[in-house]
Structures are given as structure tokens and as C-alpha cells.
Amino acid sequence: MSERPRLTVLSGPSGVGKSTVVAHMRKEHPEVWLSVSATTRKPRPGERHGVHYFFVTDEEMDKLIANGELLEWAEFAGNRYGTPRAAVLERLENGEPVLLEIDLQGARQVRESMADAQLVFLAPPSWEELVRRLTGRGTEPPEVIERRLEAARTELAAEPEFDVTLVNTSVEDVASELLALVDVV
Ligand code: ADP
Ligand code: 5GP
């Protein structure tokens, strides 16, 4: 049997259901380790520091970047997001699977720095359904939704760059497909 990549990146447009799918998978398989990103975005209701994100100030983000503490980082729809390097490398060195849930720009950076990373694209069943989900989530004001939909057009066009595409019609189905790809033993 060939060896599987140990680092998996899950990407896809905002609102497609990345967090929902990952949360569903981890409810049944808490052993799947998901990197917690740093972000300058403000927490949504229910989001906790150190669990969903490390919520940092602009100055703190500047420092993380300057000190080389991020494996990758990007500006997305007006906020910065980045993957803390040390925790990821530690797990990979121990041979443990790592899952990143990051945007397209981040996925491209990981592809550059880690050639054997597995890039998974989560696609919506249709454009209309993506708009419905992003709007229906009710967490962003209209102008932010507009920015995110603008970014979504670019992200959808980049789908061929990914190794695997999963279409998020059923959360249960996609969560089990993703689990198989992450290859948790
Ligand atoms: P992302 O993390 O990709 O930005 P979310 O996980 O926040 O997206 O999902 C956006 C919205 O879509 C949420 O309201 C979520 O409940 C809903 N959603 C996610 N997956 C599905 C699905 N398969 N069918 C219907 N609604 C979904
Ligand atoms: P949200 O604000 O909806 O939580 O996330 C917005 C976008 O930022 C999503 O596409 C999400 O995958 C991405 N994102 C989250 N964390 C990171 C990260 O560490 N790096 C990059 N490049 N993108 C991230």
C-alpha cells in the first residue's frame, strides 16, 4: 500500500460548509487534529479563543509574521489569518495526521512549502446554494457577504488546482469522505 500524505488542506469558498463538515467529523472522531489558526477577525457569537481561532490584534499578527511563526498566512475579506507553524510540525514529526482549514491563498502556500500535502476542495452544489448558505448563516453584514462572494468566484475557479473535490450536498457523506482522506489510523 502506498503511503498517504499526512497533511491535508481543506479549502473552499466561504459559506460552503467547511466548519460544519469538520465539526461533524470531529464529533465522531475527536482524534482528528485540526490546526487552530490565528486571526485578526472578531469572534462570532459562540466562538472561543484557542478553540475556533486564536483571536489576535493587528500588532500581534504583525509579530507572528515577522518572527516566522506562521506556516502560511493570507488576507481574506479584510482580515488576516495564519497557521501557527510549531504545532503543525510537531504533529507531523510524530507521524500524526494534520488537517488545515484555510483559504485558497493559504492552500497555494502550503503546496509550495510541502509538496506532498493533500489539497481537498469543498465545492457547493450550486452558486445559488452557496449564496443561500452564506446569507443564511447570518453572521456577516451585507457588505462583508459581498466581499466573501467576490472571493468565492476566484476560489471556485481554482478548483482544478486541488487533488480532490468533494461536493457538500450532505454533511454526513462529506464528513466520512474527508475522514477517509485524512487517513486517521
Ligand atoms: P464555511 O466554514 O465554509 O464558511 P459554514 O460551515 O459556516 O461554512 O457553513 C455555512 C452555512 O451553511 C451554515 O449555516 C451551515 O449550517 C450551512 N451548511 C453547511 N453544510 C450544509 C449542507 N450540506 N446543507 C445545507 N446547509 C449546510
Ligand atoms: P472565517 O472568517 O469564515 O472563519 O474564515 C474566512 C476564510 O479564512 C475561510 O476560507 C477560512 O478557511 C480561511 N482561514 C481560516 N484560517 C486560516 C489560516 O490560518 N490561513 C488561511 N490562509 N486562511 C484561513
What domains sit in the chain, N to C, each tagged with a CATH number? 7-182 (3.40.50.300)
**Would you say 16 is a known binding-site residue?**
yes
Q: Which mutation among 81, 99, 104 tests ligand 2's pocket best, with the greatest number of atoms within 8 A of CB? A: 81
Amino acid 148: pLDDT: 95
Amino acid 185: pLDDT: 54
Q: Going residue by residue through the chain, which has 185 residues, state the pLDDT in tens, using 9 for 90 and above.
A: 446 558 999 999 999 999 999 999 999 999 899 999 999 999 999 999 999 999 999 999 999 999 999 999 999 999 999 999 999 999 999 989 999 999 999 999 999 999 999 999 999 999 999 999 999 999 999 999 999 999 999 999 999 999 999 999 999 999 999 999 997 65
What percent of the residues of the chain are helix, what percent strand, and what percent coil, each to the nearest 5? 45, 20, 35
CA distance 82 to 97: 19
Specify whether the CB–CB gap between 11 and 162 falls below 8 A.
Answer: yes
**CB of 8 sitting under 6 A from ligand 2:** no
CA distance 131 to 146: 10
Grid cell, residue 73, equals: 498566512
**CB of 162 sitting under 6 A from ligand 2:** no
> What is the enclosing helix (H) or strand (E) of 72?
strand 70-76
Amino acid 5: pLDDT: 54
* pTM, two decimal places: 0.96
Amino acid 95: pLDDT: 87
Strand order in the sheet with 54-55: 54-55, 38-39, 79-84, 70-76
Specify whether the CB–CB gap between 148 and 45 falls below 8 A.
Answer: no
Contacts of 82 (CB under 8 A, 6+ apart): 37, 38, 39, 61, 64, 65, 70, 71, 72, 73, 74, 106
Beta bridge partners of 150: none
Residue count (the chain): 185
Residue carrying C-alpha cell 493533500: 118
Give the number of the ligand closest to the Cα of residue 154: 2
Q: What residue owns the CA closest to ligand 2's atom 19? A: 82
**CB of 148 sitting under 6 A from ligand 1:** no
Amino acid 183: pLDDT: 78
Amino acid 92: pLDDT: 92
Q: Which mutation among 16, 19, 21, 76 tests ligand 2's pocket best, with the greatest number of atoms within 8 A of CB? A: 76
CA distance 36 to 13: 19
